[in-house]
Structure 1
Amino acid sequence: MARYTPLPPGWEQSIVLSDDVTHARLRKMYGAAFTSKALEEQSGLLLRYANLMIAQLKVALQQDPTQDVSAWYNFVTFDLTGEFAFGEAFNCLVSGGQYHFFMKTVFEGVVVGLQLGALQIYGVMTLLEPFIPRSVMKPKEDMDNYAQALVDKRAERGYDPNVVDVMNYLLQQKEQEGELSREALHENGIALVVAGAETTATLLTATTYFLCRNPDTLKKVQQEVRSAFKSDEEIDVRSVNNLPYMIAVLSEGLRVFPPSPWGFVRRIASKAGQDVAGNYVPHNARVSITHHAAYRSETNFARPNDFVPERWMSDVPAEFKNDRRDVLQPFMVGPRGCIGKGLAYAEMRLLLAKMLWHFDFELADDSLDWYSTCKPYMVWEKGPLKVRLTPVQR
């Protein structure tokens, strides 16, 4: 079991930190919320929030044609995640595009948590903790406390067989063997917010940036989306799966800017050590593959630093035929692979298609070098992405 941050009560039943046996049981609990049937039931929810984002953006553009699209992507994904996970939105969009307290707390708390986790991995956390100012610890404490309050509020409502939010499936265990402790529900609540909202918003932000930096690609994907539909009403969770070039654009976005640039660390449990990719690794060593490095390596991809969606098309150009496509695993693989992958794909495809249908994009001057200002942790620390958005007239 790998340790990423100082471990709070309930960590051993977190879907991120638990051992293999507990993880398998948790995955089964979560699984009901992520089946094809469950996701189909949530398609109306996705569409409602996608349409709300577009409507509120158009209102905001009347005041300022340049908007921070990173913020808007976060507004919609946090609202979606709040309702999908807890049955309660954060109302960022309803308020006209306003940051909820918890959003800022999550951004700051995740970075602090990862920094503290690094101190623990290197064995100096206990030594240094008395000297760390409380102001440094506060963002993570605020994140944890608010997530716990969300979980407690949802738990008070209890299990309801007519409700489909993720916490409902975890609360269902109350009447069954293996009930999760309240501390474990807290830990899983934090994981749901970070994994469900921040990563999808990051991917959409980065993809928008790279499209703006590659105008020919932007024009090509705009043409695909705008020629595929006669009206906005035709754009839904199902129809966006019939946009091969846009899907290739998103795959390239995942390659050049994976939402989790580092790899999830795993510990070698075998006392005798283990062979990993042909190399002997001793017991207790921590092993991971860094996504960002792997996806930007010439060993795996031709022109690795260029944004070229064509490499993901079925009629791939000769230049990219030797790309090792299977290296791209942003959701990981195996029993620890992201259980929410299907939901993430549905969100990113629907939201990007709506944006491309409704708006022309142009980077503001102060965002031309946005990528170079981003800092990679387990997730990215990134600044605003200012884009001039022009509503398409039809």
Structure 2
Amino acid sequence: MKSRNALLFEAARVAVACAILLPSVALADLGISMTGAPNPARAGGSLTYRVAITNSGSGTALNAVVTDVLPAGLQFASCTVSQGSFANDAGTIFCNLGNLGPGGTAAVTIVTTPTAVGAVTNQASVSADNAAGGRVTVETAVLAANRAPEIALPGPHTVLLGASTGFVVSVTDPDHDPVVTLTNTFKPAGATFNGAQFAWTATRAAWNTTNWIEFVADDHQGEANSVVTNRVALVVPYDGDSDGMDDGWEWDHFQKLTNGPAGDVDDDGMSNGDEYTTGTQPTNRSSAFVVMSVVSTSGGGSHQVRVATEPGRKYTIYWQDSNPPRADAWAPFAVPANGVWVENRAVSTNYVFTDNEGAGTTGGPPASGRRFYRVKAERQ
């Protein structure tokens, strides 16, 4: 008969043997985290939630599902998942991630649009067929919809050739955002902007041009209306002083716009306006529009009238036989083309009009034996 101690030993041995034979069970352990950005968000803007799922257990999580019931004040925009698929059921987002192995991770990104100002609390949860999972909550402040910055830019501006202009450009932000920048992104050559004051001088190269200047303001809120642009024109006119002489010509000859058309700077008997019309030099006494010569052939019948010409001018010859000449008696040649010359050559030169006393010019010799000519010059 076995002793009591021997029986106890055998029982313990059997118990130990039973413990060793039990199989180990691999368990899934799901964790969830979530962030919401930006915080604060803007009503009407975007609020993005990024959900991270981890399986820190030794077993595979079967049919893992992330559920997010969007609260009032959030409107669904889009969803992406790193694996599996998603469905939106009237604002409840189901993300079916499938199986998630040991150490595995999955990601869900849900983009929403806040529709109301205040605080919004969003909660997401994860579960699997063989794991309870967990839940996470994120609270985000929602501010009023972003209001665009406003650029105060005066203009448009008319700047006479040789003149300077300067003005203040400023930006205001109705939301009083902490950082608002103002940048001059486009301006004509020679212009300066120091962050507040714009300055420019219209040089000769800018004559008869429209020059745009552009400014960009940014409130750095990242919203669709955070960046605004404003621009204005600087117009350098063709004849800004309206004296009938283009400003470029005046600047080339006088370096200013104050010599009027009635003046005669070089005292050659031709006004500044006439020298502008004829293309002569208003500061050079020896440069004048004149009939250089009138030569008749021996025995008459042909008369050659030579005039000085300048590029880009049209010349028309007129004649009369009245002696002395009358202001109302000047007539063109019978065929106008015979008495018109357009100077297309690029340099100062001369041209000869020929009066052959024929039907295409003057129709015959002068009755008194004397004929008068004059030539009109026009700018083309």
TM-score (normalizing by structure 2): 0.19
Q: Per residue, is there more helix in 1 or in 2?
A: 1
Q: Per residue, is there more strand in 1 or in 2?
A: 2
Higher relative contact order (CA 8 A, sep 6+): 1
Higher CA-based Rg: 2
TM-score (normalizing by structure 1): 0.18
